[in-house]
């Protein structure tokens, strides 16, 4: 039984972290092994706050060891990581990726380097960003940063399309083989922009921007999961990118239509497999 080890946050109510990523991957036909870095009652943007806690890094190491003890890490096709609850968890991620690749050299590592949003206030613990930039992201086969996280990784400001291309190209020299920028907010005010960069070239995806009273949380986790699923289906990076873009839009459109804050992943589940609205990607020359 081959699977995807998804190491992310978990919310009991709503859809963020593993609660956003696991079901779409299952709906795409994959076994998913969710491992939670934190467990919160709900995502952290609720004005009422949230309850819950981060788990010790030793818990992650112990659980991965248990999977290895039953000889199943050889069947792990990918490690997908998102929100980390402590700097020590970043070190546990590094150990996990190395262990999985020892057992299955063909396994890939997809890193969503959650560093917090400076506009919302930093929501990650001390030391996490530094570990992500210096240790975790260079280890990844694929990174899925937003514009801020990419700029932190490459040490440059991104204001234009040309800046974004240069930043992605520089990121590809630091270890990752693919860069999917899950949101380039500087490129347009009326369109939502994403970018894919591989050694073959750079590609831009744009779709209509949906205005929400409260911006849904967990969108990046959804994008990372959809892209991971596409790659493991054997699609080209460009095909996986376009599918992730279109399927994510479908979930957001259903969320917008219902006037909800939490992602309507379940209601839009058929669109996760076969999106009805297609926004073709374009190669940046």
Residue 144 counted as an annotated binding residue = yes
The answer for residues whose C-beta is within 8 angstroms of residue 3's C-beta and 6 or more apart is: 30, 31, 32, 33, 72, 75, 76, 77
Count of C-beta atoms within a 10 Å radius of residue 141: 18
Residue 220: which of 118, 142, 112 has the closest Cα?
Answer: 112
**What do you get for the CA distance between the two ends of the chain, in Å?**
42
24 phi and psi angles, rounded to 5 deg: -55, -40
| Tokens found for residue 123 | 């929501």
Residue 112 counted as an annotated binding residue = yes
Residue 208 counted as an annotated binding residue = yes
Residue 221 counted as an annotated binding residue = yes
How far apart CA 247 and CA 268 sit, in angstroms, is 9
Sheet containing 52-54, strands listed edge to edge, beginning at the edge strand earlier in sequence: 52-54, 31-40, 3-11, 76-81, 108-111, 142-143, 178-181, 191-198, 201-208, 282-283
Residue 207 counted as an annotated binding residue = yes
Residue 258 counted as an annotated binding residue = no
Residue 210 counted as an annotated binding residue = yes
Residue 253 counted as an annotated binding residue = no
Residue 194: which of 186, 185, 182 has the closest Cα?
Answer: 182
Residue 135 counted as an annotated binding residue = no
Write out the binding residues for ATP. 112, 144, 149, 182, 207-210
User: Which positions make up the binding site for substrate?
Assistant: 9, 44-45, 221
Q: Could you tell me which residues are annotated as the binding site?
A: 9, 44-45, 112, 144, 149, 182, 207-210, 221
């Amino acid at each position: 039984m081959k699977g995807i080890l998804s190491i992310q946050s978990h919310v009991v109510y709503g859809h963020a972290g593993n609660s956003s990523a696991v079901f779409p991957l299952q709906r795409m036909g994959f076994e998913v092994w969710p491992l939670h870095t934190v467990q919160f009652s709900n995502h952290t943007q609720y004005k009422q706050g949230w309850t819950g806690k981060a788990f010790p890094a030793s818990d992650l190491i112990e659980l991965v060891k248990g999977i290895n003890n039953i000889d199943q890490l050889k069947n792990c096709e990918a490690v997908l990581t998102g929100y980390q609850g402590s700097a020590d968890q970043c070190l546990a991620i590094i150990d996990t990726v190395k262990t999985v690749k020892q057992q299955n050299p063909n396994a890939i590592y997809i890193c969503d380097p959650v560093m917090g949003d400076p506009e919302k206030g930093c929501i990650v613990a001390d030391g996490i960003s530094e570990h992500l930039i210096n240790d975790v992201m260079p280890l990844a086969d694929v990174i899925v940063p937003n514009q801020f996280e990419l700029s932190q990784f490459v040490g440059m400001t991104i204001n234009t399309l040309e800046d974004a291309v240069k930043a992605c190209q520089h990121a590809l020299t630091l270890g990752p083989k693919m860069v999917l920028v899950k949101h380039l907010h500087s490129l347009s005010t009326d369109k939502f922009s994403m970018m894919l960069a591989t050694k073959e070239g750079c590609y831009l995806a744009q779709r209509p921007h949906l205005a929400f009273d409260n911006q849904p949380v967990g969108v990046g986790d959804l994008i990372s999961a959809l892209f991971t699923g596409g790659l493991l289906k054997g699609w080209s990076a460009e095909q996986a990118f376009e599918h992730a873009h279109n399927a994510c839009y479908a979930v957001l459109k259903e969320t917008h239509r219902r006037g909800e804050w939490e992602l309507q992943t379940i209601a839009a589940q058929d669109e996760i497999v076969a999106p009805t609205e297609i926004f073709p990607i374009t190669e940046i020359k």
